[in-house]
Amino acid sequence: MRSLRIGPFGITTHRRTFVVGLVLLGALLSLLVFALVVGKANIGFLDSLRAAIGISVGSPGDFIVGQVRAPRALTTILVGGMLGVSGAILQSLTRNPLASPDFIGISAGAGTGAVLTMWLTSGTSLWVTAAGAAVGGLTAAFLMLALSWRRGIVPLRLILTGIGIGFVAQAATQYTLTRMDVHDAGAALAWLVGSTTGSTWTHVTVAAAVLAVLLPIILWHARALRTMEMGDDTAKALGIHVSRSRAILAVCSVLLAAAATAVTGPIGFIALVAPALVARITRGPGVTLIPAALLGAVLLLAADQASQLMPATLQFPVGIFTAVVGAPYLLWLVWRSSRGGPV
């Protein structure tokens, strides 16, 4: 075990988890520099970094780096981190590696809420769209829990109910698109594939604000989350308010997924893959929220950069790219489960 202390706050973690976190942080910073420097426009390394932090206003790289590359990269990092934490919480609460917001209907519900808000308000504000996505995600989560509850959470019923709610939400989204103006419907449809193209500093602000509010709450309840993995009776014996902690963490997970969906559109598989891969790499005894966030950010930023570096005729939104990469992982999980191995 390794203990870290910053002022009054202390974090205890395993040495392997700590090392993995440092490696992931280094990889993320390297990818960020790569995203700022590399592109079709030939801008020098130092000029790119100056433009990214706003000390070369008026230079040729100010717009390309400061207004295009930097907000896109930072939005991608924040959304990837939000999805990683959201998936880690859900998988821990349900004790099921298939529980992720995009797989059990939460992201679909958030998408419906966002599209409905775009229709009613003509997409005037990203903050309003984010609020609509939060309402849609929370509604989907409430219906999922209400329909799957049987003296507690039954993981299989939760997954099946979530899939059903996801299909209903997708149908509602498609119907809403038919009622929208052609221009608004086109913009909403482009948003629904999940893309970081066109990200601005407003997108960064929304994602950062949501993380700034929810992440401290989640970290405050991290001990309760790890303790609940040992069973509700054990958690209660150790003084954990199980029902309250579970409700708070579930709401935080849904809000993270909804905000991520509002900012970039639905992006699949990051919330499913990142926590599972972190658990395998760290080999820790419980959920690892910070490494899951870092790996989610690394995976999404790497996918975004890979999609940008493809030939122009083959480029597609990052949401499609993550689906192409993540679907084989899901099939591997199913195959491993059918062979009797741990999922």
**What HEC string does 240-269 produce?**
CCHHHHHHHHHHHHHHHHHHHHHHHCCCCC
Residue 305 has pLDDT above 80, yes or no: yes
| % residues pLDDT > 90 (the chain) | 13
**Among the listed residues 140, 132, 137, the one whose alpha carbon sits nearest the alpha carbon of residue 165:** 140
By CB neighbour count within 10 A (0-12 exposed, 13-18 middle, 19+ buried), where does 33 fall? middle
pLDDT digits (tens, 9 = 90+) for 247-286: 888 888 888 988 888 888 888 888 888 888 888 888 766 6
Mean pLDDT of 1-7: 48
Report how far Cα 320 is from the mean position of its chain's Cα atoms: 15
Q: Using an 8 Å Cβ cutoff, are 91 and 226 in contact?
A: no
Mean pLDDT of 57-71: 74
Write the CA distances from 105 to 159, 160, 163, integer angstroms: 9, 10, 6
Mean pLDDT of 317-341: 70
For residue 8, what pLDDT band results from cuts at 50, 70 and 90? Answer: very low
Range with lowest mean pLDDT among 27-41, 95-109, 288-302: 95-109
- pLDDT value of position 154: 62
Domain boundaries along the sequence of the chain: 13-338
Mean pLDDT of 294-309: 88
Write the CA distances from 115 to 201, 211, 318, integer angstroms: 21, 22, 19
Residue 238 has pLDDT above 80, yes or no: no
DSSP lists the bridge partners of residue 9 as: 6
- pLDDT value of position 80: 93
| CATH code of the domain made up of 13-338 | 1.10.3470.10
Three-state DSSP class for 131? helix
pLDDT digits (tens, 9 = 90+) for 116-147: 888 888 766 778 888 888 888 888 888 887 88
- pTM, full prediction: 0.85
Q: Using an 8 Å Cβ cutoff, are 133 and 267 in contact?
A: no
- pLDDT value of position 123: 63
- pLDDT value of position 53: 67
For residue 7, what pLDDT band results from cuts at 50, 70 and 90? Answer: very low
- pLDDT value of position 301: 92
